[in-house]
Structure 1
C-alpha cells in the first residue's frame, strides 16, 4: 500500500503494509517425533502442548499458542514411553523445562481427541452436503461413480459392507481390483450420536476434497490405535488418491 505524499507512515499503516512473518512451526512443513526421531508431514503427527500451569495435553488441531512437541508413535509406544520416563525426558528437552505435569491417561486423551476430531469433521462434511448416508443412497451414488471414499462402522455386517464395496468398484471402474471401503474404529452407536441420525452404519464421501480431509484424520487415528491404514493408494479411486496426496503436502 502506498502512502500519499507528506503523510506520515503511522504504526497502524506500517503494520498493515508489512508482510506477516510466519511462525517457526508454520514455516516448516515437516515435524520430528520427539520419541522416535523420525520426521514426517505435520498432518501425520500429533502435537502436544503445555497449559499455563504446566499440564501436557494433546493439541490434535495444532492451534494452541506457544511451543509444541510432536509425536508420531502408536498408543502402545506412547504408553511404554510414559511408563519408562522417556516421554518426560523428551518433553523436558522439547519445552526446555522439567516443570511439566504429564497425565497418566495421556494416551487415552490423545485417542479421544483424535476420535473427536474425526467425528467433528464428519459432522462438518454432512452439513456441507458432502457426506452420504443410507445404504440404498450410497449404493446408487457409488454405482454412478460419485463416491470418493467409502467408510463402514466397526460393527457393520460383512454382507452389507461387501455389497457396497462391489458397487463402489463398479462405479469407479475398478472391478477385480480389491477396492473396498475402510472400516472405522467407531461403531454405529458412536457415529449415530455424533451425526444426529439413527443407525449410521455406512458413510460415503461424494467429494474428493472431503475425502482427503476425512482420510487424513482417519489415517492419524488408525496409526495411533494400531489399526489398518485407511485409504492406501490401492484402496481409493485415482481422483481421490490425488486429493489425499495434496492434503499431505
Structure 2
C-alpha cells in the first residue's frame, strides 16, 4: 500500500508527543521529566553524522529531544553524563547508517552557548517580523503615547537601559493597562541596545512596545504572545526569568 504523497510514514510528533495530552502540543524534557508545552521547551535535533544541535524553531526533520530552558541544569547534565544517556534514549542510539549500524551521537562542549545564540536569533527574527508587520512601536515618546492609551501589551527594555527611562515608560504602561499601583514593570531583556538595534535594523533601540491586538480573523497568539514566548525561553535559559 502506497503512502499518500502528503503524509509521512513516521513523524517527529508521533515519536516525541506525551501520550494522553491533546494534539501533541506538550513534550517531556529528557533531563527532568517535566511535561510542558512545546513552545516553552528547547528542541534538540541530530544531524546524519550524529551531531546534536539546537533546533529552537522545531523544524529540523526526524526525531527530536526536548529540554527545559535551563542552562545550569544542561551544563550539570553534560558534566555528569546524564545528557549523553538521555540523548541515547531519545535518539535510539543515533541515526541509522544502514540496517546494521548506527552513527554515534556527539555534541560539542559549547552546546549551551550554541543554544543561547540560537534562542537569541529566534527572538531577534521574531522582533524583526513583528516590526515589519506594524506590531512594534519604537521611540520613547511614541511608546509612552501608545502605552498610556492601552495600545502596548508588552513593554521591553534593553539590558543597558537606564532606570529613569524604564520608570517613565513603566508608569505609562501601567496607566494604559489599568494596573496603577500594582508596581508591575516592563521586561528587561537579556539583550543590550546594540543587539536590539541590529535585530530591528534601527539605531539606538533602547525600549520597544509590542501590540497585543490580533487580526480580525486571527485565532492564534497575538504579537505580544509571540514575542513573549521568545523572550521567556531566552531569559529562562540564561537564568533571568522575566516577570509574569
Q: Which TM-score band (shorter chain)?
A: 0.7 to 0.9
Q: Report Cα offsets for 1:97-150 as digits up to 9, x if no partner.
A: 161011110000011100100010000000000000000000011111111110
2-structure distance, mates of 1:40, 1:207? 24
1-structure distance, mates of 2:53, 2:161? 33
Do residues 124 (structure 1) and 129 (structure 2) align?
Answer: yes
TM-score (norm 1): 0.83
Structure with the higher fraction of residues in helix conformation: 1
Map 1:191-230 → 2, pairs under 5 A: 191-208=196-213, 209-230=222-243
1:87 corresponds to? 83
2-structure distance, mates of 1:64, 1:17? 17
Q: Offset at 1:16?
A: 7.6
1-structure distance, mates of 2:168, 2:132? 27
Do residues 138 (structure 1) and 143 (structure 2) align?
Answer: yes
Unaligned runs of 5+ in 2: 18-22, 95-103, 214-221
CA RMSD of aligned residues (A): 2.0
Map 1:1-249 → 2, pairs under 5 A: 15=4, 23-24=13-14, 25=16, 27-97=23-93, 99-208=104-213, 209-230=222-243, 232=244
2-structure distance, mates of 1:88, 1:100? 8
Seen in structure 2, the aligned counterparts of structure 1 residues 132 and 79 have a Cα distance that, compared at 3 Å, is same
Q: Offset at 1:73?
A: 4.5
Q: Greater CA radius of gyration, 1 or 2?
A: 1
Match of 2:45, SS?
strand
Q: Confirm or deny: 8 A CA contact 1:54 1:100 kept in the other structure.
A: yes
TM-score (norm 2): 0.84
2-structure distance, mates of 1:212, 1:125? 11
Q: Confirm or deny: 8 A CA contact 1:146 1:171 kept in the other structure.
A: yes
Q: Offset at 1:178?
A: 1.3
Moved >2 Å (runs of 4+)? 14-18, 20-23
